[in-house]
Amino acid sequence: MTIAILYSDGLREYDFGPGHPFRGDRYELFTGFLKQRVPEKGNYQFVKAQPATDNDLLQICSQDYINFSRDYFKAAHKGDLDHVKFGLYQSMDNMPFETPGNIEEAARLIIGQARMGCDLVQQGKYKVAVSVGGGMHHARASFGEGFCIYNDVAYAARYLMQEYKLSRIAVIDTDAHAGNGTAEYFYNDPRVLFIDMHQDPHTLYPGTGFASDIGSGEGKGFTVNIPLPANAAFDSYYSIFGEIVEPLVREFKPQFIIRNGGSDPHSDDGLTDLGLPVRGFRMIGERVKSLADEVCGGKELDLIASGYNKRVLPYCWLALISGLAGWNTEVEEPEPATRKFHKDPAYAQTKLVESEIKSTLKPYWKCFQPRTPGQI
């Protein structure tokens, strides 16, 4: 299957400067690796998008926040690191170091890619579109955090609802960190089923995303947090998909699936404490593709940016995309990667998390309710 890969050299500008965990060279690193491993013809096509306008950003952001972000990061790129008022609009982890890229312009490009990805899939030009650099799930309407300026996950869902009048969109967040920004956008909205699997918030930034956080008002039951214990590995993720993700998505019957998350659940990521091997990323891609084929004609937008060990990042990203696209490409563990988890040390704890989630969501979803005798 040929997929669209949204990419532009301008993504390199999403760079917080030397010494910061998030650098813009990750994008060239991955696209070069992809070209070496998988021929473009018949497998993927690179597509360039236009940056978002202020009108686009106003779908998810306040005008004051847009104005500050534009002016501050433009000045920072030119060497003016005046931090007055920074804390009113951005968290300290978004503060650029010396010689950052033109971060805000690249952030607009990421939103533009989300918009084009929705169009390409919804209009039937591709079944799957991958936005390299996407998945800025920590950003909120008036506050940027967690290396995220504008939330393209939220933008894509809102764009599909507004432009194409979709009423059921599933967002599957497999990033190691909880998608607190995305959750905030849709906490009251039953049109978006937000399933977020992440490391236990007791042990990892941003400290949100407990199993008891299930939405409010009309959206109660449509936010599904899956806090995975530290060291959760392949078996945990495999079980979570079968026991939680797939039953929910099948019952919800979305018209479109958005998935976001990069390589940071890998056992050697460096900033996280999960244990997913490279083959686990392929499994995620395969399971998401299978769900999309089953419930919404294969329509899926993938947003992929995270990961903080550049040695493992391209392998995990390629494995994930290979699963989504159905490629037979073999993606091995990078050497000399440690092989920490031949068995999943957190599997028993993960099963307890599953039970808690099912119990909490039972009033809202038939798939978690006990079957009566004779019921199929």
pLDDT in tens, 222-232: 999 999 999 99
User: Is cis: bond before 227, omega within 30 of 0?
Assistant: no
Residue 335 has pLDDT above 80, yes or no: no
Domains in the chain, ordered, with CATH?
3-368 (3.40.800.20)
Give dist(CA 204, CA 295) in Å, integer.
Answer: 33
Indicate the helix (H) or strand (E) that contains 260.
strand 256-260
Is residue 65 left, alpha or beta, with left meaning phi > 0 and alpha meaning psi from -120 to 50? alpha
Residue 120 vs residue 374, higher pLDDT: 120
What are the residues facing 128 on neighbouring strands? Answer: 300
Q: How many CB atoms lie within 10 A of CB 233?
A: 24
pLDDT band at residue 81 using 50, 70 and 90 as cut-offs: confident
Instruction: Write b or e for each residue in 21-43: b if 16 or more Cβ atoms lie within 10 A of its Cβ, otherwise e.
Output: ebbbebbebbbebbeeebeeeeb
**For residue 82, what pLDDT is reported?**
75
- 129 close to 117: Cβ distance less than 8 angstroms: yes
Looking at residue 339, its pLDDT comes to 59
Q: What is the mean pLDDT of the segment spanning 119-137?
A: 98
Confidence at 362, pLDDT banded by 50, 70, 90 = very high
Banded pLDDT at 308 (limits 50, 70, 90): very high
Would you place residue 336 in the very low, low, confident or very high pLDDT band (cuts 50, 70, 90)? low
Mean pLDDT of 75-102: 91
For 252-299, what is each residue's pLDDT tens digit? 999 999 999 999 999 999 999 999 999 999 999 999 999 999 999 999
CA distance 138 to 107: 13
State yes or no: pLDDT of 376 exceeds 60: no
**What does the pLDDT average to over 181-198?**
98
How many H helices and E strands in the chain?
Answer: 12, 8
The mean per-residue pLDDT over the stretch 100-125 comes to 98
pLDDT for residue 80: 84
Confidence at residue 48, expressed as pLDDT on a 0 to 100 scale: 98
Res. 337 pLDDT band, cuts 50 70 90: low
Residue 242 per-residue DSSP state? I
pLDDT of residue 370: 87
